[in-house]
């Protein structure tokens, strides 16, 4: 997982737009975007654990 918060914040600041919404788009079939609070570091671990359980990394298809 890659935290892009600072990159998005910088892009918003550089745009000089005061109000609005931000859309993050990932044009790849094996990528995704999650939005979650960053207050608890266990959140990332829990997400990765659930994904590993649902779709094992070393699974051969």
Nearest residue to 51 (alpha-carbon basis) of 39, 34, 37, 38: 34
Q: What pLDDT score does 37 carry?
A: 81
pTM over 0.75? The answer is no
Q: Which domain holds residue 11?
A: 5-54
61 domain-assigned: no
The total number of structural domains that make up the chain: 1
9 domain-assigned: yes
> Rounded mean pLDDT of 19-45?
88
60 domain-assigned: no
23 domain-assigned: yes
32 domain-assigned: yes
């Amino acid at each position: 997982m890659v935290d892009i918060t600072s990159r998005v914040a910088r892009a918003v600041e550089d745009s000089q737009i005061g109000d609005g919404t931000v859309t993050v788009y990932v044009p790849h079939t094996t990528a995704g975007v999650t939005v979650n609070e960053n207050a608890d570091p266990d959140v990332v671990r829990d997400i990765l654990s659930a994904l590993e359980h649902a779709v094992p990394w070393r699974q051969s298809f």
